[in-house]
Amino acid sequence: MISKEECMDLTILYIGLLCAALVLCLSSSSWSAEIHVDDDTCPSTGSGTEANPYCRIYDAITAAASGDDVLVHPGTYAERIYMKTGVDVLAAEAEKPVVTSSFKTIVKFSLADDCTLDGFVLDGSSSTRLKAGIIIKDSCTNVSVKNCVINGGSYLRGGIRLNGQVVATFTGNTIYDIAYSGITTKWGGTISNSTLTIQGNTIEDCGTAGIYLAGDSGSSNRVIIGGSTVSDGNLIRNNGVGSSVKGSGIRLYSIDQVSIENNTIQGNRRAGILLIDTSSVSPHISGNSIHDNGQAGINIGGTSTVTIGPNNDIYSNSIAGITFFVFRNSKVAGYASSQPVTITGNYIHENTRAGISVLDHVTGTITITGNQIYENTRSGIAFFNACSATITDNDIHNHTGAAGIFTGDWSGTFPPDPDSLPTSVGFNTANGPVQLTIRRNKIYENRAGMRLDHASGVITNNLVYSNTRGGIRFSGNSISPYTPFSAEWGITEISNNTVVSNGSHVTEFDEDRGGGIVYDDISITTDPTTGLTRNFYDRPQWNSSQNPHVIKNNITAWNMKAGVHDAVCSTLRDYNLYYGNNSRDTFVPAQTGACYTGSPPNFAGNPNEIFADPLFVDRSNGDYHLQPGSPAIASGDDGNDLGAYGGSDPITW
């Protein structure tokens, strides 16, 4: 039983604890104060209350403790803002206060954590001393800049300049008329082990780039530009107006974890996005609208491991939608691409030259899959330098200047000129041919379906139809000295393709241009008929001393010239179906490029060739599936159907 004295002691203890808790609560409420600033108070200093605000932002921040908010009322403040750990500096009303400065920067974050600048106009148009609207340097964690307008007046070198280790968010800002870059690490600075989130901003009319970031070598940096919704995306436009060799919307160097999502990137002088030694992480580069940039939509170089897609809309850029090309820029000379790049699920269209263009030497594999690539003026996918590329499940159509897939002419001009016509765009032969795997694509209504003059690899299960100058035109050389490369090269297998109705703009007198599958020896540089140097668009030349090619399980029908013509008749070429090529249904030599002179079924050791109507479901509407009873069903060397929808890896889309 508790004694009277013990009861009294417990009561006193309880009351003491209650009072302490009350004091703590009251103290806690005093930790989060609102400190007011209004230039209407000037020239008086003020005390920071709402009734008697400070005159200067500097005084309010000096007086503030961590957890306090500095509320700045409309007015013009000629001073520098030094951000402080734990102190948010906010516009007090909807009208943004204006801050100008005669210092090198208007706002400085240095060793400042957990603080926000929200709702200001930072006007750099009146001082030539200013270097940046905002600088964030040294070590700053969990800082943010929101809803600000940064006007450079063409004097500010950077809208927001970064250096060191920074964890920062930039949201809803408008940054414009900056001499160099909107958000930048320029002038020798880099970020190191930083995380940046850039969302919902408008960055325009900057002289060099909208966003220009470089990472410290050996460090890790996460950069998020845009986000999962349209409202997260940035509008980055008309940057690079003052730069002859740079001028990008987004320009990143040595950033190892980047995602660029749901942004509009338009009208920048050179590239919409330039990536050097930069790697993407989920959600990668996706959902962006990238258009009307002066050269490329996306320009890739260096040791960049990047996934582009899905759902980028890349169009009306002046050289290519996506290009691997940096050697012309002296600032990044030698940065040939050397890591894997995946381009998947994008819409790449109406670019002035190519949808995708490889101008640099790329040693990592380029994977191009599931894209809609159409109406680019000259080529869908163009290669002018060596790489290894896997091209699968793309819809490639309406390229009237060269081909759906194109490897340049045989001139060997280096560097290749991305501004020139296909007839003068060379191929850099120093690094060997392009190594291609081309599978399950639909390639139609181009000048040529494929024009592969510098390629090795395989072409299987493609649907190639209604290309005006021919279906698949390929080269190779198995005779030493293997011109123009130093070792044997060429396409090694063409199988299970459906090649139909190509050569519509070729006449009966165009001498074998307009065939379905046609070999062309590009080592023969003089036309033996005329003695003149061959032009890129001249008819192909065959060399029967070359080794034969594996050409099997294809359907070739209704092509203007031969269904297949490689001038090497061997048992490697068998199990193909021919019908209606060379405007004739039954004349065997014309169907087969003069390979077969006997009568069916004994064709020079190729008894499995078929000369019959393939019985497509609806050729007039582009449905090249096989009807029941088609002679192409189960007629392949593997027991599967002939054509693109047969074999072991058929088109399924």
Residue 491 reports pLDDT greater than 60: yes
**What average pLDDT score do residues 509-529 get?**
80
Q: Do 138 and 164 meet the contact criterion of CB atoms below 8 Å apart? A: yes
Tally Cβ neighbours within 10 Å of residue 630.
21
Tally Cβ neighbours within 10 Å of residue 110.
14
State the DSSP code for 89: E
pLDDT digits (tens, 9 = 90+) for 332-370: 555 677 789 999 999 999 999 899 999 888 999 999 999
Q: Do 58 and 87 meet the contact criterion of CB atoms below 8 Å apart? A: no
CA 635 to chain centre: 41
- Mapping DSSP to helix (H, G, I), strand (E, B) and coil, where does residue 331 land? helix
pLDDT digits (tens, 9 = 90+) for 270-296: 899 999 999 999 999 999 999 999 889
The C-alpha atoms of residue 583 and residue 508 are separated, in whole angstroms, by: 9
- What is the 3-state secondary structure of 599-651? CCCCCCCCCCCEECCCCEEEHHHCEEEECCCCCCCCCCCCCCCCCCCCCCCCC
pLDDT digits (tens, 9 = 90+) for 7-27: 445 444 444 444 444 433 444
Using pLDDT thresholds of 50, 70 and 90, give the confidence band for residue 514: confident
Q: Do 283 and 308 meet the contact criterion of CB atoms below 8 Å apart? A: no
Query: Which of the pair, 85 or 129, is modelled with greater confidence?
Result: 85
Q: Is the dihedral of CA 508, 513, 514, 515 positive or negative?
A: positive
User: Which residues touch 244 (CB under 8 Å, ≥6 apart)?
Assistant: none
pLDDT digits (tens, 9 = 90+) for 450-480: 999 999 999 999 999 999 989 999 999 999 9
Q: Which of 118-132, 204-218, 391-405 has the lowest mean pLDDT?
A: 118-132
**What average pLDDT score do residues 245-250 get?**
80
Among 132, 217, 120, 142, CA closest to 181: 132
Residue 597 reports pLDDT greater than 80: no
pLDDT digits (tens, 9 = 90+) for 522-544: 888 888 888 888 877 788 888 88
State the DSSP code for 534: P
pLDDT digits (tens, 9 = 90+) for 550-564: 999 999 999 998 899
User: Which residues touch 507 (CB under 8 Å, ≥6 apart)?
Assistant: none
Can you name the residues that pair with 354 across neighbouring β-strands?
Answer: 320, 379
User: Which residues touch 141 (CB under 8 Å, ≥6 apart)?
Assistant: 113, 114, 165, 166, 167
Residue 438 reports pLDDT greater than 80: yes
pLDDT of residue 507: 59
